[in-house]
A = this chain, B = another copy of it.
């Protein structure tokens, strides 16, 4: 079995005593082939260890069966779960995943160059794309589904968790419980959901005349700690509640509140997050948060994408999923 060159459909054909196209048909669904020939071919294929060359197939069918998944920061603990779901769902549909993870948002253009070269059939993108980048997909007829972001000004399909409703639920709960002085730890400025969540919270607080301070974080644990320290400074150590743009920062803030400021959470300070990632539910934190329905969202993203690969002319659609309020134990809700 030490074949220097890998077996081709011609080798199999010769071995089975049929034509090359007969071999080809055996590996295609619903092709007309007699039971007898198929047996012979399959037998020969097994002996020669033959696997159809998907590269060559893609060249002729104009379908690579490849989908690009572009994720900006995999280290955000929210994404591993999303990625695992996406790849498994896509695999189940016979589609391969070409993964691109960005160290910085500015790398998007380089990544897109690669995406074009590989003639992917579609893309699922959890990274910020500007209108011209989105136009690149449209020009080439490559369907895209954005994950937790929307095309700003450009019509493009997307799957999102309802940040606004979720944040309203959290904020309203806090307001109902007599919280009056709020701290907010936002996400990085280039995060779509980050801005949306924080804007929603601020709007609600303003409507209710509640005081609030805002600092910016990076969606990670350390910036939750730093954020709380900055907020305490700005507010003169008098805060009733802290709203974090994601769970990881909430966890950092909780640890900092307890460890650094000696506060009890939630008795002295309420802290809420967003996402519903694993660590949020851990006993030490039990973050009051909004859980994104990741499974339904990934399923939607995959099915929307595959549908548009089949029928490129379907118009874009935005799907918005409600998150689930998890009461947790890190905040006193109304």
B83 touches A74 (CB 8 A): yes
What distance in Å separates the Cβ of A279 from its nearest Cβ neighbour in chain B?
Answer: 6
User: Would you call B84 and A54 a contact (CB within 8 A)?
Assistant: no
Which residues on B sit within 8 Å (CB–CB) of A58?
55
Q: Does A119 contact B (CB under 8 A)?
A: yes
**A96 & B96 in contact (Cβ 8 Å cutoff):** no
Indicate how many identical chains form the complex: 2
Residues of B within 8 A of A29 (CB): none
Chain B residues with Cβ under 8 A from A310's Cβ? none
A237 within 8 A of B: no
Per-position 1/0 for A1-25, Cβ under 8 A of B: 1111010000000000000000000
- In the complex, whether A292 has a CB less than 8 A from a CB of chain B is no
Contacts A80-B80, A96-B118; is A101 near B74 (CB within 8 Å)? no
Alpha-carbon distance A69/B279, docked complex (angstroms): 26
A314 to B79, CA, bound (A): 37
Contact of A91 among B51, B100, B225 (CB under 8 A): B100
Besides the contacts A55-B118, A74-B83, A77-B278, what 9 more A-B pairs have beta carbons closer than 8 Å?
A3-B139, A4-B141, A6-B119, A49-B140, A51-B117, A98-B98, A99-B99, A258-B283, A258-B284
Contacts of A55 on B, CB cut-off 8 Å?
A: 55, 58-59, 64, 118-119
Q: How far is the CA of A69 from the CA of B96 in the complex (A)?
A: 12
Quick one: which of B69, B118, B278 contacts A54, CB cutoff 8 A? B118
Q: Is A221 an interface residue (CB 8 A)?
A: yes
Q: Contacts A84-B75, A100-B87: A117 and B64 contacting too (C-beta < 8 A)?
A: no
Q: Which A residues between 185 and 219 are near B, CB-CB below 8 angstroms?
A: none
Task: For A4, list chain B residues within 8 Å (CB).
Answer: 141
The docked-state distance in angstroms from the alpha carbon of A225 to that of B282 is 10
